[in-house]
Amino acid sequence: MDKREKLLQTALELFVTQGFNDTPTSKIAKEAGIATGTLFYFFPTKDKLIISLYLKLKGQAAESINAALAEVKSTKEVIKTYYTESLKWSLGNPNEFLFLAQFSNSPYLKKIGADEISAQIAPILQLFSLAIEEQQIAENDVNLLYALLSNQVFGVNQYLSSNQFSKKAQHKIIEDTFSMFWRMIER
């Protein structure tokens, strides 16, 4: 692992356990075993470090989800796959998911350009638009549908993470909760 990646990994662990405000860059550098000057070489400010980590993790999640989407054809199945793969990724990457949740509920989100945010969520918004056009789901603001889906993923992740379920039970809960979500938005 190169120095930049070591800093990002250490920052992830510290931000998740201590929060953004209680994690000074000096501690990240020290825990990573890397000079503070080297940290600032890669990330001139703490904000740049936090935003870089966010973009990296969002990219990893999207890559994982998009790989599964390549196999699916119907609009409903694509939305279901997006939902289930989001949960699989979050359960398989708990620290990464906690960081993304923390970031999304922080002032740092406003530091991401609107274009970047739009690019990240555009594919799922397009899916919702297509489902509306195909009259599979009720006509609603696609941004509202995205908010509902995102919050459901977060809530179900919290529920599954807080309990000891077998893989089979987890799978059933994911299936059942998608069915509930779909019934809420279907036409």
Same domain for 82 and 158?
yes
**DSSP annotation of 44:** S
Same domain for 38 and 64?
no
What residue type is 185 in one-letter code?
A: I
Comparing CA positions, the residue from 118, 120, 11, 114 lying closest to residue 60 is: 120
Tokens of 25: 């860059």
Tokens of 103: 């970031």
Residues of the chain with pLDDT under 70: none
Question: Is 106 contained in some domain?
Answer: yes
Q: What is the pLDDT of residue 93?
A: 95
Cβ proximity of 62 and 120 under 8 Å: yes
Give me the long-range contacts of 123-126 (CB less than 8 A, separation at least 24).
Answer: 123/66, 124/79, 124/82, 124/149
Q: Which run of H or of E encompasses 162?
A: none
Phi-psi region of 33 (alpha: psi -120 to 50; beta: other; left: phi over 0): left
Same domain for 5 and 64?
no
Same domain for 14 and 63?
no
CB atoms within 10 A of CB 151: 10
Q: How many domains does the chain have?
A: 2
pLDDT digits (tens, 9 = 90+) for 118-155: 788 888 899 999 999 999 999 999 999 999 999 999 99
Q: What is the pLDDT of residue 49?
A: 96
If you write DSSP's letter for every residue of 63-123 in order, what string do you get? Answer: HHHHHHHTT--SHHHHHHHHHHHHHHHHHH-HHHHHHHHHHHTSGGGGGS-HHHHHHHHHH
Q: What is the pLDDT of residue 165?
A: 95
Q: What is the pLDDT of residue 15?
A: 97
CATH number at residue 165: 1.10.357.10
Domain extent for 152: 57-185
Q: What is the pLDDT of residue 155?
A: 95
Q: What is the pLDDT of residue 169?
A: 97
Same domain for 25 and 66?
no
Identify the burial level of 86 via C-beta atoms within 10 angstroms of its C-beta, where 0-12 means exposed, 13-18 middle and 19 or more buried: buried
Interatomic CA distance for residues 183 and 19, integer angstroms: 37
pTM for the whole structure? 0.88
Interatomic CA distance for residues 129 and 119, integer angstroms: 15
Q: What is the pLDDT of residue 1?
A: 73
Tokens of 49: 């470090």
Count the residues in the chain: 187
